[in-house]
Structure 1
Amino acid sequence: MILLILWAVLASGCSIYGLLIFKLLVRWRIIDDSEAVRGSDLLLAGLVLLVLFVQLASIFWPANYVLASSWLAGALILAVFSPSITRSYFRRFALQQKQIPVFWLIFLVVLLYSTLEPVNADSGLYHLPSIRWYERFRVIPGLGNLHGRLAFNSSFLVASAAFGLTDLAGQTVFPLNGFVFLVVSWRLLGQIRSATSIRFLALLLLILVLFYLVRQVYSPTPDVWATLLPITIFMIWLDIKPVFSFRHILLFMLVCLCITVKLATIPIAFCLLPLGWAVRKQLSSRTLVFLTGMAFLLIAPWLIRTTILSGYLLYPFPAIDLFAFDWKIPLERVQFEKDYVTIWGRFRLFEPEIKPGLLEKPATEWIPMWWSLKPYYFLNKPTWVLAVLSPFVIGLHFLNPIRRARIQKLLWPWLVALIGFLFWFFSAPDYRFGYQFIWLTAFLPLLPFMPQRSDFWNVRPFSNLVVTGLLLILLSVYANTFLRKEHFPLLHYAIFPKPLSFRHRGPEEVVFDRCRTRSGLEVLIPNHGPLFLGCYDQERPCSPYFYPDLELRGNTIADGFRSTLSTGK
C-alpha cells in the first residue's frame, strides 16, 4: 500500500533531519547530549524542518513531488555520511516498538481507516483545491479572490501538496495526518508507562484521540494536526525538567509550527512564557539567536504566502491592512470570511441561511442557541461542562495541603489551556476547532486526585486492556459498518486509498455550471447545494460562489487573480 511506503519515508526522513538538528545543537554548544532523546522527539523535530523547507520553497516553486524528492534525497545523503549514528538510532527505534506491542494494533486500525474516503466537509470545499493549486503553481497572487477560503494559508496544506503525489499516483494521497497520528499515539503510549500521574492523562488523551480522530486519519484537514500538536506540546511540557535541553528547543519549534498550521492554535504560544522564565538563566546569546532564527524561518514564509494569497498579512483579519497590492481581496469579503467562522461555530448555518445581526446577539442569547445544537459526539457537552467547572476544581485543591502542592505544578499548563479554551469559545465554538484546549482544561485539574506512584497502582496492564478494547471496537465498527453494511471494496483500495474526487458525484458537465465573469474568465460553479459546494480535484478555475468582478492579473493562472472591486476598474 502506498501509505505504508510514504509513512516509512516520512519516519526515516524526519528521524534523520531530527538527528541532524540535534547534533548541530550539540556542536554549537546550545545543548549537551547528556539527556537521552526520545525517537519521537527526533521525528517531531524533523517534521518541523520538513514544513520549514516546503513552505520556503513553495514561494519560488510548486509544492509537489519534486520538493518531496529533494527533501528525501537530502536525508539519504545525510544517512550515507553518518551511517553508524543513523543505524544506532534506528536500532533503538526498532527495539522500542517491540516493547510497545499495542502500537502495532493502533497501526493496523489507522491503516484500515486510511482506505476510506475523507468525510470532512471542508476537504472538498477548500482543502483539496488548495493542495491542487499548490502542486501546480508556486504560490498564486490573489488566489483568495477565486474563493476566499483558498487564502486560508496552512503550512499543513503546503506539506500535503508536496506529498500528494498526484502526478505519480493518478490521485492525490494524504499521508500526513495518519503519520502524525501514529507518532503522537506512540508518544502517549510511552508516557502511559511513566511513574507519575501524567500516565493517567496520557491514557485518557489516547482514548479521546482514537475515538474522535481516527476517521480523519486519511484526510487533508489541518484540524488533526491542530489538535495533536498542541496536545503533544502540553504532554512534553508536563514531563520536562527545569534544565534547558533539546525538549525546550523542540517545544519552541512546535509552537511556531502550530501557529502556521492553524491560527486558532495561537494561545499555545503562551506556554513559552513560563517555560522560558524557568530556564532564563540558562539561555545564552547563542541560544536566543538560534531560537529567533528558527522562528523567523518558520513564520516569515507563512506570512509571505498569506500576503501573496490574500493581500493581507494575516487572513481573514481585515483590520491588519498594510498593503495595497492589486490582488488584495475586497475588504467586505474578508470581513465575511472572518464573521462566518464565528457564525458557523455559534449557529452552524450555511452561507445562504445567514441573516443580518447574528453576531450582535448577546451571550445570553447565542450561548443557549449554541448549546441546543446537536454535538458531533456524545462526550462533547459533558467535557465542555467539566472545562467550565475546572476553576472550581482548582479552588478545591487549594483547600487540601497535599493536593495544593500537586496542583501548583499544573497551574501554568492549565492556565494556558484555559486561555485557549476561552479564545476558542468566544471566537469559533465548533467543538472540532478546540478539542485540544477543551480536553486539557477539563482534565488537567483532575490529576491531583490520581495516585502519584506506579507502585500504588500499576496502570500499564489496565491501560493496555482499555486501549486494546477500544481498538477492537474500532475494528468491529470498520468490519460491520464499512465492510458488511456499505460493502466497501477493501481489496480494491488496498494499494491506493479511495480517492477524493468530484467524479464520484458525476461527470464534470453534470457537477458544475460554467459561468463567465465580466472579463471573460470562465469559472466552474458546483451546482449541488450547500452541502456539496466543493470543487474537489477540479484543476480549472472553480469556486462555490460566482464573482462577476473576478479577472486574471495576466495571461495565465500563475499570474494570479484580482477583483475589479479592489482595483477600481
Structure 2
Amino acid sequence: MVLIILSWLYILFTTVNLGYAFTIALRIKIKELGTASFLGLFSTALLAGFWAVFGRISWEFHIFLLGLNLLLTVKFNVGIVGLYKEFFRQVKNLSLALKILLPIVSLLIVAQCASAPFLPDNESYYIQTIKWLDEYGFVRGIANLHFFFAQVSGWHILQSAFSFSFLYGHFNDLSGFCLLLGNVFAFFRLDDYFRKGRRIDLVVGLLPVANVFLFSFISSPSADLPIYVLTFIIFYIFMLQYKKMTAAGFTILCLFVLFAMLIKVTALPLLILPIVSYARHYRKLHNINEILIVSALTLALFLLKNSIVSGYAFYPLTSIGRLQVNFKVPMAIVNFYADFSKYEIFMLSEQQYREAGGWSLFLRWLHLPKLDGLFNMLAVVLVAFTPLLIYKYFNKQKFWILYFVMVLGMVFFYCTSPQYRFFLNFILFFSFLWATVLLSNRKVVLSMLWIATFVTAVLLFVPVGMGRFTSNKQLLSGSRFEVSYLVFPHSNSKSGTAFETVENGNLKYHSPIENSFFWGDGDGDLPCVNKVQVDYFQNYYHYRPQQRGNSLKAGFYSQPVLDDSLQILIRSRN
C-alpha cells in the first residue's frame, strides 16, 4: 500500500502539472484539482502514445517527463499551487460524515489495488501489452502473436507510462487512481447537493455506492473502469452547461469525451453530447481550432497504434482501413475471434448460435445466469421505463438527450458485442437517477454510502466465493487483502505458474506450464503466449506467428503452414 500511495502522489503531481499546462495552452481556466489531473492523464496518454511509435516507454520517457514537470512547476507555480489550495479548501468544507467517509474509501481503494488482480483479461493481455510497451513501444504485427494485443488501449499506454517497470515490477493500479479521483469528485458533488439541492449533484454523488461492484476492476488496468468514471463527469458537465454553454465548458467536455474515446471505442456514443452542445451554441463557440487540433492528434494516435499492432487502422472495425503490409493479421483469425466472442457471450456452441433466431437469442441474452442476466435485464428495464421517470420528474430536453445517448449506446452494443460491461456506465447513471427520486433525504443518502462502504470492506477483507455471482471459471476466486500488502503490493499476476520455452519456426516464446484458459499467458518474459493457443491456430487455421527479423522490435507476422496430409501430398508429387 505504501508504495502504491507514493507512486500515486507522483502521478498526481505529474498529471496536475500537465493538465494545468494543457488548459493554459487551450486558453481555459479550471478550478478543481481532479479536473486538472484527468486532463493531465489525457495529455500524458498522447505524449506516451506518440513516444511509443518510435521507442519504448521506459526510463528515457520518464527523464523527459521529469524535465517537463520541473519546467511546468517553475512556469505555472502560482496557478498550480492555487489548485491544491482550492482542493484542501473543498475537503475542509465537507460535512463531518463525508470527511470521515472520504479517507476510509480512499484507503479501501488502495488496499484493493495492493491485493491480487481479479480480472481474467489481466492474465490474457493487460500484463503482456504493458510489458511490450515498456520494453519496445508499439511493435509491428504484435497481434499475430496474440490477437488480444490488437486491443491495446490508451489506458494501457497510460499504465505503461506509470508502471515504473525500470524501478519496480508490481505497479499495475492506474484504474484505482482513476476510481479515487472519481470518488473525490463524487464526494464534492454530494456536498454540493446537501448545500444547494441540485438533483444532478446527487446522481453523481452516488457513484461511491457502486464501489461494491467497481472494486473488481481496479487491481488491474481495466479500460472499462475509466469509461464509467468519465461518463459520470461528462454527463455532469453537459447537464450544467446545457443552457449556457461557455467556451471553457465546451472545451473541457470535448477533452473528456476525446480522452474516453482514446481509452476505448465503447465511449463512441458520448460523442453525441459535444456535437449537440456545439449545434446549440455554435454562435458562441465559433472558434474551435484548438479542439480540432486535439481531436486530430487523438485520431492520429488511434490510427497509428492500430495500424502498427494489427494492420487494421480502424480496429475493431476491420472492413475498412486494411493496410497492405505483411504483418496484417489474417482475416481467418480475425473472423475466428469475432465468432468466438459471439458464442461465448451467449454461452452457446457454434451450432446452437447459428440455429437460434434473433428473438430466441435476445431471450437467451436476458436469461443468462447470474450477473450477466441481471445487468442485461436491468438495462432493458431502464430503456423501457426511464421515459416515464423523465416525463414525470425531469421533463427537460437535456435529460431526454442523455436518455437518447443511452438507448443508442445499448442498441449499438447489443448488435456488436452485447456484454453488460460495455454499457454499465449507462446502467449506473440512470439507476442512480431513479434512486434520487426514491432516496433524496440526507440521512438516507449517507446511510447508503455507509452501507456500501461496509459491504465493500467486507468483500475486501473476508474471502467470499464468487460462484454465486458469475459463471466465468476465471472469476471464481476473488482477491483478499493480506497484511503483507501494507507496504509491498501483490504481483501483477494472480497466477503463480512457471513457464516453459517453446520453439516454433524462428519464434522462441514462453508458455505457461499450467494452462488455466485458452487465451491466458500471465506474467512471463517476452515473448509470451499460450502454447495451446499457438498450436490451435496452426492446426485448425494453418497460421503460426513468426518473427519478422532478428530482434523482437522488428515485429511478427502470421506464416501460412500446411497440415501434415498436404505436406505428404506435396512431397509425393515431387
TM band (smaller chain): 0.7 to 0.9
* Contact 1:223–1:432 (8 Å) recurs in 2: yes
Equivalent position amino acid for 2:33 in 1: G
1:40 Cα shift? 2.1
Q: 2:64 aligns with which of 63, 66, 70?
A: 70
Query: 2:397 aligned with 1:408, yes or no?
Result: yes
Aligned amino acid, residue 337 of structure 1 = Y
Aligned to 1:154: 153
- State the secondary structure of the residue aligned to 1:496: coil
Q: Which residue of 2 aligns with 1:53?
A: 47
Report which stretch shifted further, 322-331 or 221-230.
221-230
Once the two structures are TM-superposed, the CA of residue 412 in structure 1 deviates from its matched residue by 0.8
Whole-angstrom distance in 1 between the partners of 2:515 and 2:364: 25
**Is the alpha carbon distance of 1:81 and 1:520 closer, same or farther for their aligned partners in structure 2, counting shifts above 3 Å?**
closer
CA contact (8 A) 1:344 1:428 kept: no
Instruction: Report the equivalent of 1:315.
Output: 315
Candidates 546, 551, 574, aligned match of 1:551: 546
Q: Provide the residue aligned with 1:7 in structure 2.
A: 8
1:383 alignment partner in structure 2: 378
Partner of 1:523, secondary structure, is: strand
Partners of 1:258 and 1:308 in 2: how far apart?
21
Contact kept? 1:502, 1:537, Cα under 8 Å: no
Q: C-alpha distance in 2, partners of 1:321/1:303? A: 9
User: What runs of 5+ residues in structure 1 fail to find an aligned partner?
Assistant: 452-456
1:47-69 deviation digits (Å, cap 9, x = unpaired): 21111111111111212343244
Q: Quick one: structure 1 residues 411 and 443, their matched pair in 2 at CA, closer, same or farther if it must change by over 3 Å?
A: farther
Could you tell me which residue of structure 2 aligns to residue 369 of structure 1? 364
Paired position in structure 2 for 1:43: 37
**Partner deviation per Cα, 1:348-400 (whole Å, 9 max, x = no partner):** x6xxxx5257256322121222233223379625522422323xx425754x6
Using structure 2 for the length normalisation, give the TM-score.
Answer: 0.85
Q: Hey, what's the Cα distance between the residues in 2 that align with 1:152 and 1:321?
A: 16
**Is 1:143 the counterpart of 2:142 in the alignment?**
yes
Distance 1:470 1:90 in 2: 29
Equivalent of 1:428 in 403, 413, 417 = 417
Answering whether residue 240 of structure 2 is matched by residue 258 of structure 1, we say no
Query: Is the partner of 1:563 in helix, strand or coil?
Result: strand
Instruction: Name the Cα RMSD after superposition.
Output: 2.7
* Equivalent position SS for 1:534: coil
Q: Deviations over 1:500-552 (max 9, x none)?
A: 337613x324xxxx5433x3322334454453742222123222311543211
Q: Give 1:278 deviation, angstroms.
A: 2.1
Distance 1:477 1:317, change over 3 A: closer
1:516 is paired with a residue of what secondary structure? strand
Q: Hey, what does 1:542 align to over in structure 2?
A: 528
- When the two structures are superposed, what TM-score results if normalisation uses the length of structure 1? 0.86
1:332-343 alignment to 2 at 5 Å?
332-343=332-343
CA pair 359-302 structure 1, distance change in 2 beyond 3 A:
farther
2:115: which partner in 1? 116
Structure 2 Cα separation of the partners of residues 87 and 38 of structure 1: 12
Deviations 1:269-316 (A, max 9, x none): 1212211112211123xx321111001112211210110000111223
Query: Relative to structure 2, which stretch is displaced further, 98-107 or 540-549?
Result: 540-549
For 2:306 and 2:354, the matched residues in 1 are separated by 26
Amino acid at match of 2:387: I
- Partner residue in 1 for 2:482: 490
The equivalent residue for 1:302 is 302
1:79 aligned to 73, 85, 92, which one?
73
Q: 3-state DSSP class of the match of 2:520?
A: coil
Instruction: Indicate yes or no: 2:180 matched with 1:182.
Output: yes
Partner of 2:507: 521
| Rounded Cα–Cα distance in structure 2 between residues aligned with 1:65 and 1:245 | 38
Matches of 2:548 and 2:93, distance apart in 1: 58
Task: From the superposition, tell whether residues 45 and 364 of structure 1 become closer, same or farther in structure 2 (CA, over 3 Å).
Answer: same
- 1:191/1:202 contact within 8 Å kept: yes
- After TM superposition, give the deviation of residue 19 of structure 1 in Å: 1.8
In the aligned structure 2, how far is the partner of 1:489 from the partner of 1:72? 33
Using the TM superposition, give the Cα deviation of residue 445 of structure 1 relative to its aligned residue in structure 2, in angstroms: 6.8
Deviations 1:209-228 (A, max 9, x none): x1211132221221211322
2:326 and 2:485 map into 1 onto residues whose CA distance is 45
| CA distance in structure 1 between the partners assigned to 2:274 and 2:263 by the alignment | 18
How far apart are 1:561 and its partner, in Å?
A: 0.4
Matches within 5 A, 1:100-249: 100=94, 101=99, 102-169=101-168, 171-192=169-190, 193-194=192-193, 195-208=197-210, 210-241=211-242, 242-249=244-251
What count of residue pairs does the alignment treat as equivalent? 529
